[in-house]
Amino acid sequence: MNRGKSIEALITKSRKSFEALKADYQASLDQKSISEELRIDIKNIFENLRSCLDYMAHDIFEACIGPKQPSRLYFPIRQSKKEFDQVINKDFPDLQTRRPDVYNILESIQPYHDEWLRQFNRLNNNNKHQDLEEQTRTESKRVTVSSPKGKGSVSWGPGVTFRKGVSVMRVPIDPSTQMPIPSNQIKTEVVIWVDFHFKENGKSVLPFIEKSINTVGNFYKQLRQNV
């Protein structure tokens, strides 16, 4: 792949940027908002990863179709198999016939197989052409009830509601508080999880960034073996 070094450099830079922004991200959780600098760091990671995909598209064309490329060539992203085949026939003519292995690799990552690519592309496009997409702060409570003797535990998170008469580990739940009635028979722990989600797709910020970096990296490795 002629652009392999550039792709690898961008993926490496994205990984380093991700490690660096983790500490700033935790500070933002305490401040209840993501700083403008951190939002720009997040935006840059997504732009670098999108550039990786477009570089791969150019290398695929050169290796499988020929040296004369269209004036505009982007990594194909379509919502259905029919739409995908249409753009392949237009931008990568005869790819399925010439290189079915490469065609299958490109097809396998499409949104109708893996929802991640649609979410990534939509978020990336909005961040690039508009203002930075808002990240929303969320809090969720998780309750864990366990035996002091270590004989098991029961946990529940948001969306769980107990009615009158329900017991957990033989201790009644108070419907007014949704918590076990205080008892020396159990240990109750309440943990508040704080996180930011992308408003655009509802995904938790750090896990979605990490998945994006890993997915693009793994896709490149797979493609590199065939192009």
pLDDT in tens, 123-169: 887 665 444 455 677 767 788 989 877 678 888 887 789 999 999 98
Average pLDDT over residues 77-93: 96
Question: Tokens 């991700």 sit at which residue?
Answer: 18
Q: Whole-structure pTM over 0.85, yes or no?
A: no
- Break the chain into its structural domains and give their ranges: 4-134+201-224, 136-195
The residue type found at 111 is: P
User: What residues contact residue 198 under an 8 Å CB cut-off, 6+ apart?
Assistant: 123, 133, 135, 136, 205, 208
CA distances, 151 to each of 30, 142, 146, 172, 184 (Å): 35, 20, 8, 18, 14
Average pLDDT over residues 197-213: 89
Q: What rounded mean pLDDT belongs to the chain? A: 88
| Residue 12: pLDDT over 60 | yes
CA atoms within 13 A on the CB side of 112: 12
Contact predicate 140/158, CB 8 Å? yes
The pLDDT assigned to 13 comes to: 97
